[in-house]
C-alpha cells in the first residue's frame, strides 16, 4: 500500500519536540536547525498550504535560562519554568518565520479549550482567522496555568487535537526517532521500522513501549495516542526524524518515516475540509447541464458557468449554485474573479486561448469540489 504525498495536503500541523529545538547543554534554542525548519515551513506556506506549528520547549528552555539543576521538576516549578521559556520561545518563532515574511501568532491552549465546546469553537475561530490572514499559528499548552489533573502534559496528543479541531488533513510529529519500530531500536539491532500503519491495532500499541527522555514528555506511547485521535477524525499522521536539517523537505522528497493512515482517503478528508471549514468568497451560478455533470461526479467546466459573483482569488472557496439559485456544492475555484468572468460560458479550448495555452481547463476540478448530497457520483478518486 502506498502513502499519500506531502503535496496532496492542504492544511498541515507540524509538531516540534523539545529535544529537537533545545540544546540543553548550551541552554539555547538550536538556531540553525530552527532556521532550516522555518525555511521548510515557508516553502509549504508559499505553496498555498496552511501550516500550523505545535511547538514544545517552554519548560526545557525556561529551565536552561534559569539554570535549574537536572532532575524532575515539581508542578509549580515546571509552570514557572514555562513562564520564562514560553516568552523566549514565542520570540524565536516570530523571528525565524518573520525572516520569510510570515507572521507568527502565539496560541496557548489548555485541555478545556479543546474539550469544552464553547471554548473549542472560540480557539478554533481564532486559529482559522490567523490562517485566513496567512499567518502561522504557533501553539503550545498553556503550561503556566495547566495543572496536573487538567493538562495534556504532552504535545503529541495536544497536536492531534489541534489537527482535528482545525480539520487539518495531515499531522507531522517531528521527533528524535524516525518512525515506529517493531521493537525498541536502541536495545534491538534487528528492529524494523514500519513505514505504513493502516490501523492502530493492539499489536501496534504494544510496539510503543513507554520511552520518555528528560526533555520531552511524550514517548512513542503518546504518539500512538495521537495517531488514534488524528486518524479517527480523518487526519493522516506521520512520525519523522527532526534530527536532520530540513526535516520537512526530507519528507517531501520521500525520506524515511512512519505514516499512520486515516481510513478516509485524502481526497475525502480534503473534501470534508472544503465542505466544512472555509468561508466562501464568491458564487458561481451554473446551467442545468453543468448541474447534471456535477451530480455525475465530473468537474465544473467554464462552459457551464452562467454568472460569477463575489471577489475571489485562485484557490478560494466558492459556492456553486444551480440556475434556480439552489446550492449544488462548494469548491476551490481555479481562476480569480477577473479570469472567471472572461471565460464563463466559453468552451474549454476558447478558455485556453483567452487565458493562454497553459490555462487549466476546469473552473473547479472534481477533486476540489464537494457536491451537496451527490447522487452517487463521488468515487473519491
Smallest separation, CB 92 to ligand GLU (Å)? 13
Nearer to ligand GLU, 56 or 258 (CB): 56
- Map the footprint of ligand GLU across residues 351-380, applying CB under 6 A: none
Number of H helices and number of E strands within the chain? Answer: 14, 15
**Separation CA 229–CA 312 (nearest Å):** 34
| Interface residue with ligand GLU, options 57, 247, 266, 322 (CB under 6 A) | 57
Smallest separation, CB 32 to ligand GLU (Å)? 21
> In the 8-state DSSP scheme, what is residue 300?
B
Smallest separation, CB 215 to ligand GLU (Å)? 7
**Separation CA 169–CA 265 (nearest Å):** 10
Smallest separation, CB 250 to ligand GLU (Å)? 22
Contact 223, 198 (CB under 8 A): no
CA-closest candidate to residue 173, choices 257, 49, 48 = 257
Nearer to ligand GLU, 144 or 164 (CB): 144
- x/- site string to ligand GLU, residues 206 to 225, per CB under 6 A? ----------xxx-------
Smallest separation, CB 18 to ligand GLU (Å)? 5
Q: Where are the beta strands (DSSP E) in the chain?
A: 11-16, 22-23, 28-29, 50-55, 104-109, 136-141, 170-175, 196-197, 236-241, 257-260, 282-286, 305-310, 317-321, 327-332, 369-371
Smallest separation, CB 127 to ligand GLU (Å)? 17
Smallest separation, CB 111 to ligand GLU (Å)? 12
Binding window for ligand GLU (CB under 6 A); candidates: 45-53, 119-127, 140-148, 342-350 = 140-148
Smallest separation, CB 136 to ligand GLU (Å)? 17
Cα four-point dihedral sign 358, 10, 172, 61: positive
- Map the footprint of ligand GLU across residues 142-171, applying CB under 6 A: 143, 154-155
Nearer to ligand GLU, 82 or 319 (CB): 82
**Separation CA 43–CA 36 (nearest Å):** 11
Our finding on whether 56 is near ligand GLU (CB under 6 A) is: yes
| Interface residue with ligand GLU, options 40, 141, 178, 368 (CB under 6 A) | 141
- x/- site string to ligand GLU, residues 73 to 112, per CB under 6 A? ---------x------------------------------
Contact 64, 24 (CB under 8 A): yes
| Interface residue with ligand GLU, options 12, 51, 60, 123 (CB under 6 A) | 60
| Interface residue with ligand GLU, options 12, 42, 59, 351 (CB under 6 A) | 59
Nearer to ligand GLU, 153 or 195 (CB): 153
List, in order, residues 6 or more apart from 178 with CB less than 8 Å away: 193, 239, 240, 241, 243, 256, 257
Q: What are phi and psi of 161, to 5 degrees?
A: -65, -40
Binding window for ligand GLU (CB under 6 A); candidates: 56-64, 169-177, 305-313, 361-369 = 56-64
Nearer to ligand GLU, 10 or 223 (CB): 223
Element (H, E) at 34: helix 31-46
List, in order, residues 6 or more apart from 194 with CB less than 8 Å away: 179, 180, 181, 182, 204, 207, 258
The 3-state DSSP composition of the chain as helix, strand, coil percent (nearest 5) reads 40, 20, 40
Our finding on whether 242 is near ligand GLU (CB under 6 A) is: no
Cα four-point dihedral sign 212, 216, 217, 219: negative
Q: By CB under 6 A, name the binding residues for ligand GLU.
A: 18, 56-60, 82, 140-141, 143, 154-155, 216-218
Amino acid at each position: 500500500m502506498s502513502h499519500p504525498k506531502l503535496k496532496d495536503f492542504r492544511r498541515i500541523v507540524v509538531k516540534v519536540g523539545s529535544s529537537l529545538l533545545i540544546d540543553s547543554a548550551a541552554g539555547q534554542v538550536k538556531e540553525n536547525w530552527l532556521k532550516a525548519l522555518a525555511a521548510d515551513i515557508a516553502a509549504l506556506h508559499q505553496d498555498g498550504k496552511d501550516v500550523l506549528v505545535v511547538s514544545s520547549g517552554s519548560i526545557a528552555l525556561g529551565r536552561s535560562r534559569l539554570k535549574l539543576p537536572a532532575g524532575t521538576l515539581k508542578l509549580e516549578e515546571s509552570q514557572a519554568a514555562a513562564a520564562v521559556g514560553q516568552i523566549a520561545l514565542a520570540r524565536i518563532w516570530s523571528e525565524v518565520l518573520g525572516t520569510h515574511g510570515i507572521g507568527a501568532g502565539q496560541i496557548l491552549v489548555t485541555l478545556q479549550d479543546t474539550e469544552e465546546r464553547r471554548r473549542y469553537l472560540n480557539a478554533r475561530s481564532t486559529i482559522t482567522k490567523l490562517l485566513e490572514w496567512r499567518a502561522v499559528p504557533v501553539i503550545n499548552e498553556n503550561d503556566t496555568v495547566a495543572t496536573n489533573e487538567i493538562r495534556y502534559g504532552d504535545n503529541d496528543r495536544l497536536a492531534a487535537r489541534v489537527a482535528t479541531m482545525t480539520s487539518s488533513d495531515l499531522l507531522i510529529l517531528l521527533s528524535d526517532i524516525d518512525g515506529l519500530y517493531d521493537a525498541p531500536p536502541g536495545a534491538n539491532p534487528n528492529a524494523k521500522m514500519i513505514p505504513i500503519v493502516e490501523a492502530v491495532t493492539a499489536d501496534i500499541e504494544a510496539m510503543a513501549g513507554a520511552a520518555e527522555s528528560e526533555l520531552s514528555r511524550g514517548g512513542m506511547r503518546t504518539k500512538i495516542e495521537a495517531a488514534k485521535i488524528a486518524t479517527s477524525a480523518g487526519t493522516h499522521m506521520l512520525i519523522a526524524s527532526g534530527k536532520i536539517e530540513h526535516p520537512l523537505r526530507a519528507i517531501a522528497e520521500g525520506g524515511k518515516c512512519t505514516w499512520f493512515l486515516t481510513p478516509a482517503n485524502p481526497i475525502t478528508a480534503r473534501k470534508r475540509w472544503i465542505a466544512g471549514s472555509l468561508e466562501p468568497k464568491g458564487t458561481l451560478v451554473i446551467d442545468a447541464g453543468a448541474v447534471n455533470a456535477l451530480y455525475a461526479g465530473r468537474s465544473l467546466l467554464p462552459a457551464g458557468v452562467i454568472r460569477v459573483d463575489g471577489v475571489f482569488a485562485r484557490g478560494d472557496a466558492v459556492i456553486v449554485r444551480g440556475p434556480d439559485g439552489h446550492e449544488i456544492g462548494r469548491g476551490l475555484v481555479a481562476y480569480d474573479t477577473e479570469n472567471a468572468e472572461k471565460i464563463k460560458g466559453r468552451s474549454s479550448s476558447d478558455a485556453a486561448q483567452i487565458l493562454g495555452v497553459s490555462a487549466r481547463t476546469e473552473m473547479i476540478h472534481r477533486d476540489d469540489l464537494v457536491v451537496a448530497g451527490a447522487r452517487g457520483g463521488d468515487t473519491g478518486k
